[in-house]
Chains A and B, each alone.
Chain A
């Protein structure tokens, strides 16, 4: 069944503005939350991840926040650039599985010049 819900499905921002993508998960036991970026014609690539023992993690212009109580996590991209345009996927461990990830449905981010 559905384990991860991702919103919005599309997002357009002006270059230099911030972008936020949100995901909710259902299994309170989940402890790992990665974000993948997929450029056109390519496979997804891990850009940042967070584990359940921290509330926020940053890597230059990218940050991820985690709210375990509300069971949601978000990707924040600041000072967006045209090369940030891509599809972004969140993921979480599949409920009841020791080996599988379940992915959100993806967000198409477009950074307008």
Chain B
């Protein structure tokens, strides 16, 4: 089983460029999440989607947009990349959007912005 698949795995952008990070899960989960991971700061929630058709801001949403394309796919878009957005981005999913359920993570997208 693939679980949660993220593409691309690595990306280098120039300041001001845009890009979309893709995430897909094959576990029939309802809820999906985007996190960023920076050294010494753990995982911080950017946006989440409790169910198909809904999205909500997390702790650090500025500079990002998301789209819940269907039940399987949840994309994260950087409209005008900034060096402060250099990070490792993780997508996760849970069966239902409750904090007491295991979150299943992808292997991340490593993004560098020059």
Binding site for B on A (CB under 8 A): 6, 9, 31-32, 34, 41-46, 49, 51, 89, 93-94, 97-106
Contact = CB atoms under 8 A, between A and B. Distances in A.
Contact of A99 (B31, B41, B105): B31
B103 A97 contact: no
Given A34-B102, A99-B48, 8 more contacts: A42-B107, A44-B103, A46-B102, A49-B102, A94-B99, A98-B98, A100-B59, A105-B42
A43 B48 contact: no
Contacts of B100: 31-32, 49, 51, 93
B61 interface: no
B21 interface: no
A75 to B, nearest CB: 15
Nearest to B101: A32
Contacts of A104: 42
Given A99-B50, A105-B42, A44 B99 contact: no
B40 A89 contact: no
B42 A103 contact: yes
Contacts of B90: 43-44
Contacts of A105: 40-42
Contacts of B42: 6, 89, 103-106
Contacts of B97: 99
Nearest to A1: B59
Closest 5 CB pairs of A and B: A43-B105, A32-B100, A93-B99, A103-B42, A103-B43
B45 interface: yes
A31 B108 CA distance: 28
Interface in B35-76: 40-45, 48, 50, 56, 58-59
